Structure 1
Amino acid sequence: MKPTRNLFLIVCLFWAGFAFAQQKKKVSLEDVFKKNTFAQKSVSGINWMNDGQYYSALKRGIAGPMVVKMNIATGAEEAVLIDGGKLGVNFSSYEFNSDETKALLASEVESIYRRSSKAVFHVLDLQSGTVQKLLDGEKVMYATLSPDNDKVAFVKDNNLFYLTLASGKITQITTDGKWNHIINGAADWVYEEEFSMSKAFEWSPDGKQIAFIRFDETDVPEFNMQTWGKLYPQDYRFKYPKAGEKNAEVSIHVYDLGSQKTVKADVGAEKDIYLPRIYWTTESNTLAFIRLNRLQNQLDLLYANIQTGSTTLVLREESKTYIDLDYNDDLRFLAGGKGFIRTSEQDGFKHIYHHANDGKLIRQITSGNWEVSSLVGIDEKGKKIYFISTEQSPMERNLFVIGMDGKGKKLLTPEKGTHGINMSHDFKYFIANYSNAQQPLRVSLHESSGKMVKVLEDNAELQERLSGFALSGREFFQFNTVDGTALNGYMIKPADFDPAKKYPVLMYVYGGPGSQNVTNAWGGTRDFWHHHLAAEGYIVVCVDNRGTGARGRDFKHVTYANLGKYETQDQIAGAKYLGTLPYVDAARIGIWGWSYGGYMSSLSLMLGNDVFKAAIAVAPVTTWRYYDTIYTERYLQTPQINAAGYDDYSPITHVNKLKGNLLLVHGTGDDNVHFQNAVDLVDALVKADKQFETMYYPNRNHGIYGGNTTWHLYSIMTDFIKRKL
């Protein structure tokens, strides 16, 4: 073939591809935020049934919600177990008791904070079909059926109760509950947010006792958050311990239903501690619990005798930095006194360990320079453990099985991407929620060997819609930061990308400890906003800086005691790397983020004022002195110990360095990252005579949503980007 003809064909192919891209629709803001064009379908409310042949699933019928019974072998729907329309109960969640004779239905759910809620509860007798509304429809929190099937425990007005179903009798376990003073059986704000817990009570396996945590938050400082919309703004006061301030005093108690007596567990002489987990062991009369010191660098597992309250230290783990309980929250007790399984980062990567009942290490079950993301299940009869790990790639999650002896490890989900697993109680089947950067969610049923039985949802309709849009997928890349560490990133280019052109870039960041944005998984609404920006001629880039997760303890803990320093160095280095690419306009690079990402974007704009032209900071922390004890002190110690760690990398400290364009956004009703953060940054910017743009959303919380809010927010951000980049 002659060179001129070859060149002619290349040019023709380029223009044909360009014309093809032009024929397809661009992603519009309306598609993303008004039409829900890119919404995925899923299969919700899946519960495995006891006989091992069926699972139940929640679906929306014409007349209301239904729970249907699905045959595992055939994939067919065989029966309707609960029909909300016929019952007259518009429930949104359900839970069976242990022998599947009763179901607890929650309706009219009212959110309180991130994980807490109250609702109207009904108990359905599945054999007789009778429905019992609890407390005549009064909303309560955390209603939970007892293992012996005849009681329901719940929290109301900061006190713990149980109701006997047969008689309707209500027994009040605690009486000292009081708003902003004492909480029984439910977590306070900071435990709920940072230890991922809201319910703070557990039935014993025989239903004869209830263990609960009591929070005395009397001396915790109150935060006052005004709400707007009335003639006079209303005060909403709640207990929020900011870094270095007093926490709630916590204690553990066990109530015996027979004697109606409560025993207090001995948690030690030190009062300034955390008690974030309680577990009933398989041993009689023994409750286990976790104790953390204030700096969260010492974790203790203790056993409590429920008759006397005396305790025994079983296991202690210490760290020179911190122990992240949420990241290592996989404690499971084995039947027959065979000890317990737990996860730990003690060898530098999160792995699985088997301990005897007395805490002595039997063996480390997994090992290697990769992490166990989570335990899926422990098949004690088969002596196998199922777990999800990053062994294939830090950007992927796959299901593995391994013997309790640490041998015979096998990959069960070989497809590249991200797998979430729901395994049956008998370990014969699992449901996989799978996606990758090119494929939306697929829900499928598998045998425990990994063999697929049936696809339950493939989002074929979404994929068909996507085929009509001009989209480019995520391109993954790596570059080395200032210390030579390789960082992972992805970019989204315009569908009609021309390497001969120069494009502006918007970087997206979160960057907080243990987080991860650069994954081989399908994106959500925010991702499609990035596709809209790509359609408007921007390249969108995301980089996971040092301190993020899935790459081991040392990579994550490098930011300890100095949040913001290395993370911003890496985002600035990422922008400089992008500026060397021939198709990037180095003079038009911006960055945006939300929450920790808002902290990162504002700080990066100030410290990287020769690199970044613009930044959007949504609901940012602007000084860690304003954030809560558990999260902040885990990574920075207290401000009394480490004042420099709080101040040296606060955006407020660096306002004089601002040169580029800043858009600051916050909700005035943010109970998490308080509006106070934005107010103080604005004050500092004004004092420094710096111009900027700002938008506040009245009464909106940390998620800044509700009604027209999301559309309004992203419209403003899009306009800012178009004007400033």
Structure 2
Amino acid sequence: MKKILAYSFKFKFHVLFLTLLSFGYTGVSQTSELSVEKVMQDPNWMGNFPSNIKWNADSETIYFDYNPEQNVSDSLYKIELRNPSKIKKVDLKEEQNLSPRYGDFNKDRTKKIFGENGSLKLYNIKTGKTTELLDLSKAIESPKFLANEDKVSFILDKNAFVYNRKEGSIKQLTNIKTGTAKDGKEKEVSEKNAWIRDENLELLQVVNQRKTNKENKEAYREATAKKEQFSFYLEDKNLSNLQVSPDAKFATFKLITRERGENTAVPNYVDESGYTVNLPARSKVGENNTKVELAIYNFEKDTVYTLNTSELPGITDLPDYVKDYPDKDWEETEREVVPTTVYFSENGEHAVVNIRSKDNKDRWIAKINLETGALNTLDRQRDEAWIAGPGIGYTFYGGEEMGWLPDNKHIYFQSEETGYSHLYLLDVTSGNKKALTQGDFEVFDPELSNNKKHWFLTTSEVAPGERHFYKMPVMGGKMEKLTKMEGNNDVYLSPDEKHMAILYSYSNKPWELYLKKTKANAEAKQLTEGQSEAFSSYPWRTPELIEFKARDGAMVPARLYTPEADVKNNAAVVFVHGAGYLQNAHKWWSSYFREYMFHNLLTDLGYTVIDIDYRGSAGYGRDWRTGIYRHMGGKDLTDQVDGVEYLVKNHGIHPEKVGIYGGSYGGFITLMGMFTEPETFKAGAALRSVTDWAHYNHGYTSNILNEPAADPIAYRRSSPIYFAEGLEGDLLIAHGMVDVNVHFQDVVRLSQRLIELGKENWEMAVYPVEDHGFVEPSSWTDEYRRILKLFNESLLE
């Protein structure tokens, strides 16, 4: 590649004729009916594919978003079970009268309560009719049937209410107010003003007498008045997750105290106003001053108390990494925690809470004594890296799979206790815990059947790269596999559980809708066929799923694209998926569909392409997930290097003809590869890449690297900007200028570092209108033309 002036911003399009490309290295012409322009154009060219699947409450109709007319956006369509071969567009009137998507079912699932436009409404499943119960002209939130289903709780203006359907009456349960108890009362005065007041009262007897009379009247009213209703004042805190127990004796809610960190601004140079406008963006890692408390409102005692978490087992435990800082004094203090959600048993007699430590190394499941607020720990999960995994959720946002069986005795939850995320039951009366699933696979989205006698769940038991749907007895036992199409089966059960709407895809086939009876031996019928003629005319490859051995003995999964022998150019491209915790070496249609099509183009042109589920990727259990702890750019990078070695040994790849590229986390790995493994990678394209982890967000980064002030070693060895002097090959940096996720500042700082180091063999392409995920086809096309040009010139000349 010809050397390019450092920090050169290129907006000029490089016109590449991809229909016929000749390269002197192989001496053969390499052709493809694909081009960058074709695969990076508006995705509508591929066809139209169903999404947002939803059953009507009567189990007779499947609704989904679809766009066969190629409009600006999708519309709502339906397929009726009585005529499944016909797809109909839903008119506006029918769409407005559909059963509500959100709300709460009663126990026998014949009715659904929901709030809409300031009204409390009841939907009758059998008749399909909606009845308005209340019109309060204010937002009604979180309506729920209580244990006595004649009563419904809901939240209005930050307070809990109960509506009695039989009596038609409303009762306010909580009296939560903003501000403080002192608001509206006589304020304390300064010493100076008190002196002036007292002197005035001494001088003016009439004023003094009036003050005395007023105080006497107030004292009399207080002595004879009924007890004033208890009020709870939020003060400077925010209210969240207010919910009423099923027996309406208690409510729980979270109190959130926010101390905003210093946010970074992202300048938008192409705002429609013509002026540069700063976009609000996140703060950097280490800014995490939010405090979360859990409070219990006792209606009978008319009082509120907060949970005391100081007695949680291990609350003062220090992390293992402190041993790397022997000269620092580490004090064992009570760690801050975040209670995520309270779960009440159906009868309201018991409640459990999921609690996470703010450093995300501990998760406690504790039973709450609702009368006192005391906690009894039922289960503690500790991970010296960080707590996560399917069904386990995240610190601030909850999202864990958890709840009660109808016996009001057992709770269920997911845990990585064995190294894989599995489903557990725990008896809250005895503390006995039982694993319902086990093995080297993961469980996703477990759901109790209507009769509460079975589980429906998705697992990766067949293979890490497949997803299938199962049925299992509620107390555990043999799992019955209900799907059999190889790939990913994303199942939506009908409300009566007699049918499954399956959103299905394979490696080279985008998502389509299928229908199947909820039986193992039933056949699935395809309902949609969305591929366009232009898309389906190309023979899209099924990448080979392989494993290669890493230097530490681990078997690393990957997708491999191999060219025909007569066009093979002995060059390879390594693609690094983003997000870190994401899976891409699988048998279903990739979320990286543009990259998948680009890899087909590269393979047509003679390149061998490998796409690796490196350490830190999803789908392979806890040890794989946490393999990057305290060293991003460690095993996740050596997995790429070992993948190249596998290609050299087994697929005839020339060791000096290897390129690497990826976006976001993939861009970060590309930079680390180019800076620290220059003998492996001749060229690299780093897209929207993190260059310094101390400048990324808190929620993601602190899990993996802890906080910069506490664990600077982790940040120093994980950030590419510290290793820029190692650049030898040809580097393309591409970034959106209005990226509010990985800020443009990241690559600006890196470019200055490269300038100061005197590096010449790099270029930067900037995209003024793009955020982290590109939107405009012109931007995608420009970016990938540059990537292809980089590989052609660097690897094939």
TM-aligned CA distance change 1:96 to 1:86, over 3 Å: same
2:692 aligns with 623
State the identity as a percent. 20
Q: Does 2:281 correspond to 1:273?
A: no
1:114 aligns with none
Deviation of the 1:585 alpha carbon: 3.9
1:200-211 matched pairs, under 5 angstroms:
211=252
1:539 aligns with 608
Deviation of the 1:682 alpha carbon: 1.8
CA distance in 2, matches of 1:671, 1:264: 36
Deviation of the 1:203 alpha carbon: 6.5
Deviation of the 1:723 alpha carbon: 4.1
Letter in 1 for 2:540: L
SS at match of 1:679: helix
1:249 aligns with 291
1:521-580 deviation per Cα after TM superposition (whole angstroms, max 9, x unaligned): 123233223323334443332011233232232333333222221111110111222233
TM-aligned CA distance change 1:79 to 1:252, over 3 Å: farther
CA distance in 2, matches of 1:596, 1:121: 45
Q: Does 2:660 correspond to 1:606?
A: no
1:491 to 543, 555, 560: 560
TM-aligned CA distance change 1:401 to 1:529, over 3 Å: same
SS at match of 2:656: strand
Moved more, 26-35 or 686-695: 26-35
SS at match of 2:655: strand
1:510 to 562, 577, 594: 577
TM-aligned CA distance change 1:253 to 1:532, over 3 Å: farther
1:698 aligns with 768
The answer to whether the 8 Å contact 2:683/2:790 transfers is: no
The answer to whether the 8 Å contact 1:32/1:38 transfers is: no
Moved more, 65-74 or 310-319: 65-74
1:127 to 123, 126, 129: 129
Q: Unpaired runs of 5+ in structure 2?
A: 1-28, 181-235, 312-333, 393-399
CA distance in 2, matches of 1:203, 1:68: 37
2:437 to 359, 366, 378: 366
CA distance in 1, matches of 2:648, 2:553: 18
1:674-713 matched pairs, under 5 angstroms:
674-691=743-760, 692-698=762-768, 700-705=770-775, 708-713=778-783
Deviation of the 1:518 alpha carbon: 0.4
TM-aligned CA distance change 1:203 to 1:499, over 3 Å: farther
Q: Does 2:647 correspond to 1:578?
A: yes
Q: Does 2:478 correspond to 1:408?
A: yes
Letter in 1 for 2:388: D
Letter in 2 for 1:95: Y
CA distance in 2, matches of 1:534, 1:29: 17
CA distance in 2, matches of 1:671, 1:358: 48
The answer to whether the 8 Å contact 2:337/2:356 transfers is: yes
The answer to whether the 8 Å contact 2:161/2:170 transfers is: no
TM-aligned CA distance change 1:339 to 1:713, over 3 Å: same
1:137-168 deviation per Cα after TM superposition (whole angstroms, max 9, x unaligned): xxx9x96555489887589xxx7899999999
CA distance in 2, matches of 1:465, 1:130: 50
1:222 aligns with 263
TM-aligned CA distance change 1:182 to 1:362, over 3 Å: closer
- Number of residue pairs matched by the alignment: 659
SS at match of 1:653: helix
1:670 aligns with 739
Structure with the higher strand share, 1 or 2: 1
The answer to whether the 8 Å contact 1:146/1:207 transfers is: no
Q: Does 2:352 correspond to 1:345?
A: no
TM-aligned CA distance change 1:586 to 1:557, over 3 Å: same
1:107-147 deviation per Cα after TM superposition (whole angstroms, max 9, x unaligned): xxxxxxxxxxxxx99989873699999979xxx9x965554
1:350-392 deviation per Cα after TM superposition (whole angstroms, max 9, x unaligned): 2221111247234211222x22231332237463222222221
1:637-664 deviation per Cα after TM superposition (whole angstroms, max 9, x unaligned): 3333422111113111110100112222
The answer to whether the 8 Å contact 2:256/2:291 transfers is: yes
Deviation of the 1:38 alpha carbon: 2.1
SS at match of 1:244: coil
Deviation of the 1:245 alpha carbon: 3.6
Deviation of the 1:397 alpha carbon: 1.4
1:587 aligns with 656
SS at match of 2:751: helix
CA distance in 2, matches of 1:154, 1:708: 47
SS at match of 2:639: helix
2:331 aligns with none
The answer to whether the 8 Å contact 1:251/1:267 transfers is: no
Q: Unpaired runs of 5+ in structure 1?
A: 1-20, 107-119, 186-199
The answer to whether the 8 Å contact 1:66/1:83 transfers is: no
The answer to whether the 8 Å contact 1:390/1:398 transfers is: yes
Q: Does 2:136 correspond to 1:95?
A: no
The answer to whether the 8 Å contact 2:460/2:466 transfers is: yes
Deviation of the 1:472 alpha carbon: 2.8
TM-aligned CA distance change 1:354 to 1:655, over 3 Å: same
The answer to whether the 8 Å contact 2:77/2:87 transfers is: yes
Moved more, 509-518 or 294-303: 509-518
Deviation of the 1:232 alpha carbon: 4.7
The answer to whether the 8 Å contact 2:153/2:160 transfers is: no
Letter in 1 for 2:708: P
1:457 aligns with 527
2:54 aligns with 46
1:5-154 matched pairs, under 5 angstroms:
25-26=33-34, 28-34=36-42, 36-47=44-55, 49=57, 53-58=59-64, 72=81, 75=84, 83-84=91-92, 94-95=101-102, 98=105, 127=129, 144-147=142-145
Letter in 2 for 1:502: N
SS at match of 1:604: helix
1:474-485 matched pairs, under 5 angstroms:
474-485=543-554
Letter in 2 for 1:220: G
Deviation of the 1:447 alpha carbon: 2.5
SS at match of 2:407: helix
Q: Does 2:511 correspond to 1:441?
A: yes
CA distance in 2, matches of 1:589, 1:352: 43
1:160-198 deviation per Cα after TM superposition (whole angstroms, max 9, x unaligned): 899999999999966469xxx96543xxxxxxxxxxxxx
Letter in 2 for 1:387: L
SS at match of 1:529: helix
CA distance in 1, matches of 2:98, 2:679: 55
TM-aligned CA distance change 1:547 to 1:683, over 3 Å: same
1:303-344 deviation per Cα after TM superposition (whole angstroms, max 9, x unaligned): 445666444433222233332166523212111213111111
TM-aligned CA distance change 1:421 to 1:267, over 3 Å: farther
Deviation of the 1:488 alpha carbon: 1.4
CA distance in 2, matches of 1:169, 1:283: 20
SS at match of 1:502: coil
The answer to whether the 8 Å contact 1:247/1:272 transfers is: no
1:558 aligns with 627
TM-aligned CA distance change 1:59 to 1:245, over 3 Å: closer
1:233 to 276, 293, 316: 276
Letter in 2 for 1:518: A
Deviation of the 1:702 alpha carbon: 2.1
1:650 to 683, 697, 719: 719
Greater C-alpha radius of gyration: 2
CA distance in 1, matches of 2:567, 2:597: 25
Deviation of the 1:257 alpha carbon: 10
TM-aligned CA distance change 1:128 to 1:502, over 3 Å: closer
TM-aligned CA distance change 1:419 to 1:287, over 3 Å: same
CA distance in 2, matches of 1:203, 1:47: 29
Higher relative contact order (CA 8 A, sep 6+): 2
